[in-house]
A = this chain, B = another copy of it.
Amino acid sequence: MSKTIPVVKDIMDANAQLAAQVRAKLDEAGVLALNLMASPGAGKTSVIIRTIEALKDEIRLAAIDGDVAAIDVERIAETGIPVTQINTGGSCHLDANMLWSALPSVDLESTELLLVENVGNLICPASFPLGTHYSVVIASVPEGDDKPYKYPTMFKGADVLLLNKVDMLAYEPFDVEYFRRGVEALNPGVAFFPISCRTGEGFDAWLDWVRAAVGRAVRDDDRRGRG
C-alpha cells in the first residue's frame, strides 16, 4: 500500500502544475474561465445555454464541453458560439491536462468568458482543479436537500453555488433552509443563486455575478497593458 500514496501525490502535483499553466495562459489572454460542475441531470448544459443566450451580445464567449459521450456539445453549438468537445474516454472528471490540451482549439484572443462544462459527477471533479478562475457548482431541487451533507468536498470547493430547478419547489419536499445550513457549514458566505433554467427565475442575479467577474478580469488585463 505504501507505494500507492506517492503515485497519487505525483498525479495531483502534475495536475496542479498543469492547472497553473492553464491559468497563466488564460490570464495572459485576458480570459475569465468558469468550471461548471454538477450531478448528471442537474442542468449544467441548460445553465450554460441560458447564460450564453443572455450574454452573447455583450460578452465574447466560448465553451468547452467535457463528457463521457458527446451529445451536449451539439446543443451548445446551436447557440452559435465556438464550442470545443473534450471526450474523457470514460474518465469521470476533467483534469488540467485535458483542458490544457483543448486550449489550442479555443481562440483565446477573441474570448472574454470561457465556460467549461465538467463531467456529470459530484465527487471526482472537485479533486482536479483545472486552472479556471471560479468553480460553479449546480445543485438541483429534485436531487434533494441533503446533497451538501453527502458530497461535502464538492460544496466546500464551490466559489458560486446555483440551486437550479427552483420551479420544482412546489412539488418536491426540499427544505431550502436545511440545504443552505449544510452549505454554510462547509463554505460560509459562498455566492448562492436559486435559479430555474425553465422559467428564468433568479437568472438576473447570476448574470450580474458573471458580468462583474468578467469586468474584473478585463480590468486586470488592462492593467497588464492589453485591451
User: Which A residues lie at the B interface, using CB under 8 A?
Assistant: 39-41, 67-69, 71-72, 90, 92, 119-124, 127, 140-144, 146-147, 149-153, 165, 168, 171
A153 touches B90 (CB 8 A): yes
Interface of A is mostly: loop
Residues of B within 8 A of A39 (CB): 39-41, 120, 143
Identical subunits present: 2
Chain B contacts of A41 at CB under 8 A?
A: 39, 140, 142-144, 147
Query: Looking across the interface, which residue of chain B has its beta carbon closest to that of A124?
Result: B92
Given contacts A41-B39, A92-B121, A123-B119, contact A168 B142 (CB under 8 A): yes
Closest B residue to A142 by beta carbon equals B142
Return the 8 tightest CB-CB contacts between A and B, nearest first. A41-B143, A142-B142, A92-B123, A39-B40, A41-B144, A40-B122, A92-B124, A39-B39
Query: What chain B residues lie within 8 Å of A150 (beta carbons)?
Result: 40, 67-69, 71-72, 120
Q: Which residue of B lies closest to A67 (CB)?
A: B150
| A147 and B123 alpha carbons, distance in the complex (Å) | 18
Within the complex, the shortest CB–CB distance from A148 to chain B, in Å, comes to: 10
